[in-house]
Amino acid sequence: MPRKKKVITATTIITRKKTARKKSPAKKLNALAAARPKKKPRTKKIKPPIIPSGPKVEEAKYYTGPVMRKFETEREFELPASYGDNRIVAMVRDPYWFFAYWEVSSRRRDEIGQMVGGDLFSRSKEVLRVYDTENWNYFDIQLTAGSASWYIKVPAPNRTYCVDIGFLLPDGRFIAAARSNWITMPLDRMSDLIDEEWMIPDWEKIYSLSGGFGIGKGSQEIRELVKKRFLEESGSGWVSSGSARASLPERPFWLTANCELIVYGATEPSATLTVQGRKIDLRDDGTFSLRFSLPDGDQVIPIEAIRDDGAERRQITPKVERRTE
């Protein structure tokens, strides 16, 4: 005789809240990840879960083939603070700003110290000297102790600059430890240069038809949304219809509720089972479970099992009424 049960569970439909939900891929890498609290299901159930053999389904889903090889353990590693180099590198950020990072080797430092004399050197200031390479006009930036990189604003775009890292002595002399690569800042507007062969009758119009007065607008907003989506730990909280975050209404107190119905049971594993006339696959042990959303009204759910030789059948018909008030 098959077991029969009828269970109705009501589960609250949860409005999503942002929670940390990224699996940290690291073994033990990241203090942040390690400190993250274990996620818990945020559901409150009236009855305990009833879907049996869950792990099996799960295994099947995530089974990725027989050969999961063992890997050598990789040792802990930290990127070095410095490489013992003596160099400075400049990188363009936009028409007005570039970025420089540097390293002054202790050898170069000693060299300069010896050259200028220890006393004088100890009173020197570390500075960046930024040159316009066209006329070698320059300006200095005095650095805070221990800095190894800087964002530098240039006087004018579309010019070529380089920068020295060095020491400004009390007597006004500047001793460079290293010189950077040369960088040309982008032009931030249309060029003044006009090609005679390709004379332009009405440039302003071309410029504006091409979108020239709205540069930097357009794709980025949605691109960010799209990319963010790939990176979002939770997909929640965004409306796709706009770039702004969905503003949750100010609700000091609220409630949403819904009902679901779970029908489950078991029969001979070899039997054929139908629910409301539709064939349902049994698990290996003959158990089954179905989950329905449950709207208001009456539901009749005939469940029928037929023995594999067709000689016997059993029927159970739960009737469920939901009335929401």
Partner 1 sequence: MEKGYLALVLHAHLPFVRHPEHDDFLEEDWLFEAITETYIPLLKVFEGLVNDGVDFRLTMSLTPSLGSMLMDPLLQDRYVKHIDGLIELSGREMERTRWQPEYQALAQMYHDLFIDCRDRFLNKYNRNLIYAFKKFQDLGKLEIITCGATHGFLPLMESNPNAVRAQIKVAAAHYQTMFDRRPRGIWLPECGYYPGLDEILKEEGIRFFLVDTHGILHGTPRPKYGVFAPVYCRSGVAAFGRDMESSKAVWSANEGYPGDYNYREFYRDIGFDLDYDYIRPYIHTDGTRINTGIKYYRITGRVDLSQKQPYVRQRALDRAADHAGNFLFNRAKQVEHLHDFLGRRPIVVSPYDAELYGHWWYEGPDWLNFLFRKMHYDQEVVKPITLMEYLDHNPKNQVVTPSFSSWGWKGYSEYWLEGSNDWIYRHLHKAADRMVELAKRFPDSGGLLRRGLNQAARELLLAQSSDWAFIMKTGTCVSYAVKRTNDHLERFTRLYEQINNNSLDEPWLADIEYKDNIFQQIDYRVYA
Full strand arrangement of the beta sheet holding 260-266: 7-9, 260-266, 287-293
Mask: binding to partner 1, 286-315, rule CB under 8 A, as x and -? ----xxxxxx-x-x----------------
Min separation Cβ 132 and partner 1, Å? 17
Backbone angles phi, psi at 115, to 5 degrees: -65, -45
Kindly identify the residues of this chain, within the stretch 225-264, that bind partner 1 according to CB under 8 A: 225-243, 246, 248-249, 256, 260
29 vs 115 by CB, closer to partner 1: 29
* Candidate segments 42-50, 107-115, 118-126, 129-137, binder of partner 1 by CB under 8 A: 42-50
Examine residue 28 and tell whether it contacts partner 1 (CB under 8 A).
no
232 vs 304 by CB, closer to partner 1: 232
Kindly identify the residues of this chain, within the stretch 53-82, that bind partner 1 according to CB under 8 A: 54, 57-58, 60-65, 68-69, 71-72, 74, 77, 79
Given 206, 270, 308, 319, the residue binding partner 1 (CB under 8 A) = 206
Examine residue 156 and tell whether it contacts partner 1 (CB under 8 A).
no
The closest of 167, 129, 121, 126 to 144, measured between CA atoms, is 126
Given 193, 257, 300, 311, the residue binding partner 1 (CB under 8 A) = 193
Examine residue 153 and tell whether it contacts partner 1 (CB under 8 A).
no
The closest of 44, 63, 47 to 55, measured between CA atoms, is 63
Q: What is the dihedral of CA 245, 249, 255, 256, to 10 degrees?
A: -50
Examine residue 5 and tell whether it contacts partner 1 (CB under 8 A).
no
Examine residue 276 and tell whether it contacts partner 1 (CB under 8 A).
yes
User: Is residue 101 a contact partner of residue 89, using CB atoms and an 8 Å limit?
Assistant: yes
| Residues contacting partner 1: total by CB under 8 A | 122
Beta strands in the chain (DSSP E): 7-9, 87-92, 97-103, 125-132, 138-142, 149-153, 160-168, 174-179, 183-184, 260-266, 272-275, 278-280, 287-293, 297-300, 303-306, 313-316, 319-322
